[in-house]
Amino acid sequence: RTVWSQSIGLVLATLLARSQPHRRITAIGWRNAGRESSVTYNRPRDVSLMTTSPSTSTDEVCLDKLRPYLSTQNFDWIKRDDEERNRLKQQIADECPGGHLFADAEDEDEPPRVQEWTSSRSNVDGHGGYDQRKKDGSPVSEEDDGDTVTVVFLLSESYEGFGDTLWASSRYAANVLADPKKCKEILSPMLLSRGVDETLHPLNGVTFLELGAGAALPSAVAIYRGARVVSSDLRSANRIRCMAESIYRNVARMKELDVPLYHAEEARSCPLNWEKTPDEVKDALGVDSFDVIVAADCCYMPWLHFELLSTVESCLSRDGVALIPFCLHGNTEDSEVRGIVDKAKEMGFKVEELPDTQLTPPTLKMDYKQGLVHTLRLTKTD
């Protein structure tokens, strides 16, 4: 009976770990191999995390509070997932009545679930969300005392590499979009055809879709800058929940700081399988297309390039701009990843390869090329 009980406990613990890869299960001698390294995430300057604030408390937000940012169908789906997670946790607790299933001391090495990131005009990384390679950190320029953005993002307990890491290309996109001048430059094909209200940020009022959003940092910045935003990712209940919670926290932060909400409360979190029609993300805002699409670090699986580009083609407005920043991670041949350029041209896009930008990789164990961001700007040809 003891052997049977231990076996059942191992199975249950493993199942829970798959849904919560940030947790380490040590009572039965098992550890998530995907998180063996110790990573210290740097904090943005002059930002205090107040546990009483709904925007920065590390506690998981009650699902009912996330309802405005989810469709009814997705809310019900995530609710069922929450109930199953809670049932599984209780079952594991019953199998391990000693209460030592999770080693809280080891959790100190894990990146916080809720973090903050601040844009920068002098530091291409921005401030926050990556492992600093210099102990004293990067000096903050006086240039950052101006119109910067501080947003909240969440790491998911979904699958390794999907939402559990803030990738360099995501930070790059967020930092460019946060800066009015850089944003105007990178979205120039769209803005030149429409004209620009110089009194507003270039993102104000535009429809914005993020594909494969993960930690959804570009989406958070776009919300702050007044865009009408839909964050999308693979159909993982925890991932979609985390993105909805990110919206909730950032809207709460904007209210606390008296930042104009513009269209912040219209933001939505949606699942999107690139192999299926994108009706759900369009219906989330009641639109037929999006002015700006960002797909950060979505190129590392060459076998999905056609599906990714087909989704962009289906969702991008006639004069819109799609940004595809990516790094080469070594999981497949670099040439295969870069093959997306020819594939996009074959599908009728105008493809511009923007200058590469070296950022800091997310962790110390990563090679510097995993922080070298290559960016494609796609527009539709006439």
Q: What pLDDT does 92 receive?
A: 85
For the record, the structure tokens of 80 come out as 């069922």
Give the pLDDT confidence score for residue 220 in this predicted structure: 98
Burial 268-296 (b: 16+ CB within 10 A, else e): bbbbbebeeebebbbebbebebbbbbbbb
pLDDT of amino acid 33? 30
Place of tokens 């290309």: 169
Q: What's the pLDDT score for residue 143?
A: 57
* Alpha-carbon span 351 to 378, nearest angstrom: 5
- Tokens read off for 143: 């240039």
Q: Which two tokens stand for residue 213?
A: 């959003």
Q: According to the model, what pLDDT value does residue 18 have?
A: 44
Q: What backbone torsions phi and psi does residue 379 show, to the nearest 5 degrees?
A: -135, 160
Size (the chain), residues: 382
CB contact set of 108 (below 8 Å; sequence gap of 6+): none
Nearest to 268 by CA among 68, 61, 69, 66: 69
Q: What is the pLDDT of residue 232?
A: 98
Burial 333-359 (b: 16+ CB within 10 A, else e): eeeebbebbeebeeeebebeeeeebeb
Q: State the number of CA atoms in the 13 A half-sphere of 35 facing the CB.
A: 25
Q: Among candidates 16, 113, 13, 105, which has minimal Cα distance to 60?
A: 113
d(CA 283, CA 376): 27
Cα angle 337, 354, 123; round to 5: 105
Cβ pair 349, 376 in contact under 8 A: no
Q: Please state, in angstroms and rounded to a whole number, the distance separating the CA atoms of residues 9 and 30.
A: 11
Cβ contacts of residue 270 below 8 Å, gap of 6+? 71, 74, 230, 231, 232, 240, 280, 281, 284
Contact 116, 152 (CB under 8 A): yes
Residue-by-residue pLDDT tens, the chain, 382 positions: 444 444 444 444 444 444 443 333 333 222 233 333 333 333 333 333 334 466 557 889 999 999 999 999 999 999 999 999 899 988 888 888 665 555 444 455 567 889 999 999 999 999 999 988 765 455 555 556 568 999 999 998 755 556 789 999 999 999 999 999 999 999 999 999 888 788 999 999 999 999 999 999 999 999 999 999 999 999 999 999 999 999 999 999 999 999 999 999 999 999 999 989 999 999 999 999 999 999 999 999 999 999 999 999 999 999 999 999 999 999 999 999 999 999 999 999 999 999 999 999 999 999 999 999 999 999 998 7
Q: Which residue has the tokens 């100190």?
A: 108
Report pLDDT for 47.
34
200 neighbors 297 (Cβ within 8 angstroms):
no
Residue 151: what are its φ and ψ, rounded to 5°? -130, 160
